[in-house]
Each structure stands twice: as structure tokens, then as C-alpha cells.
Amino acid sequence: MVRARQKNGKDRHQEILEAAARVITDRGLAETRIQDIAERCGVSPGLILYYFESKDRLLVEALTYANDKYYLAQARDLRRLDSARDQLSRLIDLSVPGLLPDFERLEEWALWIEIWVRALRDPSLAKEAEVLDRRWRQSIADIVRHGRRTGEFDGGEDADEIGRKLGALIDGLAIQVLMNDTQVSPEHMQRMCLEVAASLIGFELEPATSAST
């Protein structure tokens, strides 16, 4: 029980960040009040400001914290797979909002859009967002490089360039899916991402290990 206090303190910090992320995804960044976050934690509003110097700071930290959490979970998930083809397919599946029941990602995408809109007027947040975003595009490029080392992929252009293109495509399509666009279902998005990936990297789609219809 020596660290009971400190541990509590640390837990509180994290607990507030997670509560903040939840509230932001539920109500939206603009509609998030300190009291909402406090209620989600079961504490008083005053405590929130005891741990974070201001509401603004808390919100920004919550956005990047949540994104970090999701990214690490994804990286862990992908590392279980050996085949680059499987990794790529899995990465796409994980990126499509609402496709996999266990990894809907709706929260994460909602947070990303909140980050974008805020980063438009907050250059420091834009810098942080770029770091997170580059890491995410990097993971695509790494899969491509891995596939080329193992011989699964050959030809195609610069891996980083593929990461940028495929990453942007996924961003753009995810927005449509999140908006419940009637012309872009999660399955449709998944198929389009795979097709473009195959075209960019230069592999055939038919003998894919997953992804049908």
C-alpha cells in the first residue's frame, strides 16, 4: 500500500483522460463540459481542474492520449500476423469504421475529426497531430517494405508514397462511412481500399487470404 496514494494519483490522471475521451466522442468537443467529465469519473468538477491546469489543456491531452492508445492496440494486433498481405488486409479492416464488431473504431475516427477541426486554429496541436499521423502512414509503408523483403510484393513505387496515398484514401473514405453515406458502406470501403492497395503495390487481388465479395 506504499504507492496507494501515488497510484491513485496516477490512475486519476489517466482515468480523467479516458473519461474525457469518452465524453468527447459522445457529445462532441464543443459540447463537452468539465462537469460531464467529472460525472463520468464520479468525482467533483473541481478535481478535474486540480489535475489539469485548464479545460483546454485537458481536451488536447485527451485527444492525443486516446489516439495513442488506439494506435498501440492496432500495432499489437498487426504484430501477430506474419504475412504482409494479411497485415495489410487486417490494417484496412481495422481502419474501416464499424466493420469489425470488436473494433468499430467509431470513437477513434470521431476523435480524429475533432483533432482536425481544432488543429486548423491551433498550430501546436497540428504539430502533434502530424506526428501521430505520420506514425500511422509509416505503419502502412512498413508493411509494404516487409512484403518486399519477404518477396510477397514486388514492383510498385516508393513505400512511403504508397503509405501517403493509401492513408489519405482511408481517411477520406472513413469520413463518408462515418457520415452514414448511403453509397459507401463499410464493406464497400473495405473493398475499395484493397483494390487501390493492390494497384499501388502491384499484387493480384484474387488469391487474397481474406476479404471476399
Partner DNA sequence: TACAGTTGCCTGAACGTTCAGACAAGGGAG
Partner DNA sequence: CTCCCTTGTCTGAACGTTCAGGCAACTGTA
Query: Which residues bind to DNA, rule: CB under 7 A?
Result: 1-2, 4-6, 8-9, 12, 32-35, 42-47, 49-50, 54-56
Which of 53, 206 has the CB closer to DNA? 53
Contact 65, 15 (CB under 8 A): no
Contact 40, 19 (CB under 8 A): yes
Q: Which partner from the list its own copies, DNA, none does 192 bind, CB cut-off 5 to 8 Å by kind?
A: its own copies
* Residue 97 backbone phi and psi in degrees, to 5: -65, 125
Q: Which partner from the list DNA, its own copies, none does 138 bind, CB cut-off 5 to 8 Å by kind?
A: none
Which of 48, 143 has the CB closer to DNA? 48
Contact 115, 68 (CB under 8 A): no
Q: Which partner from the list its own copies, DNA, none does 49 bind, CB cut-off 5 to 8 Å by kind?
A: DNA
Q: Which partner from the list its own copies, DNA, none does 77 bind, CB cut-off 5 to 8 Å by kind?
A: none
Contact 106, 178 (CB under 8 A): yes
Report the nearest approach of its own copies to the CB of residue 28 (Å). Answer: 5
What one-character DSSP code corresponds to residue 100? B
The three cell numbers locating residue 113: 475529426
Which of 9, 28 has the CB closer to its own copies? 28
Contact 87, 211 (CB under 8 A): no
Report the nearest approach of its own copies to the CB of residue 117 (Å). Answer: 5
